[in-house]
Structure 1
Amino acid sequence: MLTEPVDLDREELRETLARGWRIDVASLDYRPLGFGSHHWVVIDPAGSRWFATVDDLRSGRAGEDRDAAFAALESAFLTARMLRDEGKLEFVVAPLLDRDGSVLRRVGLDYAVSLFPFIDGESFGFGEYRSERDRHEVLRLLGRLHEASPVLPSGLTRHDDLTVPRRAELLEALGQVDAPWTTGPFAEPTRLLLQSSAENLRTALDRYDSLVAEVSASTSSWVVTHGEPHTGNFIRDRQDRLLLIDWDTVALGPPERDLWMVVGDEQADLAAYSNAARSAKVSPRAMQLYRLWWTLADIAEFVSWFRGPHDRSADKEAGWTFLSRALPIRSELLD
């Protein structure tokens, strides 16, 4: 997130890091990055650095309530640890274990913190891969990831249920577009945008449901997937190694859950993927499903933001920019 949470007690975060990971915290430097989680660089008196990630357990992204969200994050981070340690995937940036062998600790009732090694290297913003070399390197890593699925014990890693998060809220919002919304500066613009895009959005949801019916018919080829292998989740370190971060979205699903985000020139790209994966067959329907899922999930998230009480902030400005560009949904996503 671009803004630090106002209701998180920094001193409590400092104490949690000290108790859990035995760090004498000299400073906490907030880093405004991405959407979803909050991030700090943690520095001790000797100048050693770590990267702390804090998730809001009330957000609804990981689970329906705080305990369910904590359990889901814990499962995801344990999956990342196992992929790195048992799967020998050196590119997986997994959380550090605390003094009790845990990957996650509560910070009060509403937040959870995980701690990661600090990576000295080059990070990238969200967008297109800069070169074919980078794209093919990512595809080879994803092939290795998908092939590592057998190292995971049954029941550890969640299965992608293919549902659009906050879909019920989105449908409820579509039914309330005829009366003014007064919850904040982006409420009325959101209502008017939904009102003008209602038919387009309902068509997109129907199209998504038909794709789900096709893709979910067989799960035999499902593998462990990262879920968001975009440019913003890779770091190239000083040894020129490409490293994959942010494992909270890890899940068992079709390979296309990852591939849709990376594959451009299909023939050349899938050749790179097949260097590490046993199968390079791609389902066009599954690729389309995940392209559409990404758009629908973001629309539902930002509509939820703006239907509720909110102020103007850097996060809300960015959310409105995305929402206003996402609706109406482009026709190529619905074909």
Structure 2
Amino acid sequence: MKVNYPIEDHALAMHLNSEYGLEIEAVRFIPMGDSAYSYEASCTNGERYYLKLFDHRNERQASSMARLQHYLPFTWQLHDQGLFQNLTYPLRNRHGEFITAFNGFTVVVFNFIEGETLAEAYPFSEDIVEHIAVTVAAIHCNPPLIAKPSLMTENYDISFASDLEKCMSVLEDTLTFNHPIRQALRERVLPRKERILALLDLVRSLRGAALADTRDNVLCHGDLWGGNLILHDNELHVLDWESAMLAPPELDLVGYIGKEFEVFWSAYEQHIGQPVTLNPDLLRFYAYRHHLRNLTNWIMNILYRNTEETQNENDLDMIMNHCMNRWESIESKVEAVEAILQKRNHS
């Protein structure tokens, strides 16, 4: 979120001190993400914490809040049992709960990890790519049983499709919006309608092939982009486990199918300790679904959810420069992965 939740900082600190027994003296809004409001809390004893705040009135945030019951107990287990240490995990409140509901919003308090995220580090160096690959492999090597029954199992959800189709109809049926950002959205997205619907049909087809894949699932983080990674003192830390689930490894690998894939794949397999089979059609499914689901979310934000122009401007920029401009490169990236895998199979 680019604009902070409408609560005074001192009031938020007071609520947290009461429920968590902390001595927070300052909170600082962090303008990042769109599934929750982010804050850093500083205490009088020098300790710091990371906060996620969910607005009960925000449909997107309510959906993210529903996932808390799945991934919070699991990430605590990873930390508490020493299975994977470099991660964000939740703190318990005075009732022993990971989630604290207030009037109109819900808060989760996490440990604070020093350093900057890798969100601005693209393109990654080979050293960073190898570091990420080893970290991903370490996550995948955890026995899936530790995540049951807490985590969800991949079902290749495309429930966003109906919302996307409805949004396209709204953009088409409204000749002129009495709102500059919504009108700009219409003018930029509507000419791509046929392409969007064709990609949606492709995702539906690829989902059928994905459901037929009989390989065992592994523990996946589900959203391993640079913004969820912090490199500090040569240690890579993994943030925001909201999308964690039991799924094929392709879910975590799809973000690295560009020029860096060969370096990534070599380090990944070496850490796994044995050859790993990949399904290129699953990479296609995850890549296209990722962009279409994001497109749906940002269009819905602009049409129905956002109350601040700053957020509208951000979401339109994300559609233009972090979504629609990337579709055409997906097929060539997957084909390059196929070529690398074939070369290795014949060597």
1:302 aligns with 2:301: no
1:253 aligns with 2:250: no
SS at match of 2:97: coil
Q: Distance in 2 between matches of 1:59 and 1:160?
A: 25
C-alpha displacement of 1:180: 3.5
Q: TM-score, normalised by structure 1?
A: 0.88
2:310 aligned to which of 314, 323, 328? 314
Q: Distance in 1 between matches of 2:262 and 2:190?
A: 41
Pair 1:18–1:312, CA change in 2 (3 A):
closer
1:39 aligns with 2:38: yes
Would you say the 8 A contact 1:185–1:310 is kept in 2? no
Q: Distance in 1 between matches of 2:121 and 2:226?
A: 6
Show the counterpart of 2:114.
120
2:154 aligned to which of 155, 160, 171? 160
Aligned length: 328
* Counterpart residue identity of residue 316, structure 1: N
C-alpha displacement of 1:77: 1.6
C-alpha displacement of 1:279: 4.6
1:24 aligns with 2:12: no
For 1:87-130, what per-residue CA distance to the aligned partner results, in whole angstroms no more than 9, with x for missing partners? 62112221222233322211323x22111222222322256352
Show the counterpart of 1:228.
223
* Counterpart residue identity of residue 50, structure 2: F
1:193 aligns with 2:188: yes
SS at match of 2:256: coil
Show the counterpart of 1:217.
212
Would you say the 8 A contact 1:183–1:308 is kept in 2? no
For 1:200-236, what per-residue CA distance to the aligned partner results, in whole angstroms no more than 9, with x for missing partners? 1110000111111111213542112111111111112
C-alpha displacement of 1:58: 4.4
* Counterpart residue identity of residue 4, structure 1: N
Show the counterpart of 2:330.
333
* Counterpart residue identity of residue 318, structure 2: F
Would you say the 8 A contact 1:104–1:112 is kept in 2? yes
Pair 1:195–1:328, CA change in 2 (3 A):
farther
Pair 1:157–1:129, CA change in 2 (3 A):
farther
Q: Distance in 2 between matches of 1:246 and 1:106?
A: 19
Pair 1:279–1:107, CA change in 2 (3 A):
farther
C-alpha displacement of 1:244: 0.5
1:241 aligns with 2:241: no
Show the counterpart of 1:287.
283
Would you say the 8 A contact 2:74–2:147 is kept in 1? no
Q: Distance in 2 between matches of 1:329 and 1:153?
A: 33
Q: Distance in 2 between matches of 1:97 and 1:164?
A: 33
Would you say the 8 A contact 1:103–1:114 is kept in 2? yes
Q: Distance in 2 between matches of 1:71 and 1:243?
A: 24
Q: Distance in 2 between matches of 1:60 and 1:160?
A: 22
For 1:150-198, what per-residue CA distance to the aligned partner results, in whole angstroms no more than 9, with x for missing partners? 3425321012332235322211122231323647431112223332111
Show the counterpart of 2:81.
86
RMSD of Structure 2 on Structure 1 (CA): 2.5
More helix by share: 2
Would you say the 8 A contact 2:37–2:54 is kept in 1? yes
- Where structure 2 has 5 or more consecutive residues not aligned to the other structure, the ranges are 333-347
* Counterpart residue identity of residue 327, structure 2: R
Q: Distance in 2 between matches of 1:50 and 1:309?
A: 29
SS at match of 2:271: coil
C-alpha displacement of 1:147: 1.4
Show the counterpart of 1:323.
319
C-alpha displacement of 1:137: 1.0
Moved more, 39-48 or 208-217: 39-48
Q: Distance in 2 between matches of 1:312 and 1:55?
A: 17
For 1:283-311, what per-residue CA distance to the aligned partner results, in whole angstroms no more than 9, with x for missing partners? 11111111111110111011101212645
Pair 1:136–1:285, CA change in 2 (3 A):
same
Pair 1:328–1:245, CA change in 2 (3 A):
closer
Pair 1:330–1:43, CA change in 2 (3 A):
closer
User: Percent sequence identity over matched residues?
Assistant: 19
SS at match of 1:247: coil
Would you say the 8 A contact 2:115–2:231 is kept in 1? yes
1:169 aligned to which of 155, 163, 171? 163
Show the counterpart of 1:144.
138
Would you say the 8 A contact 2:223–2:252 is kept in 1? yes
Would you say the 8 A contact 2:24–2:44 is kept in 1? yes
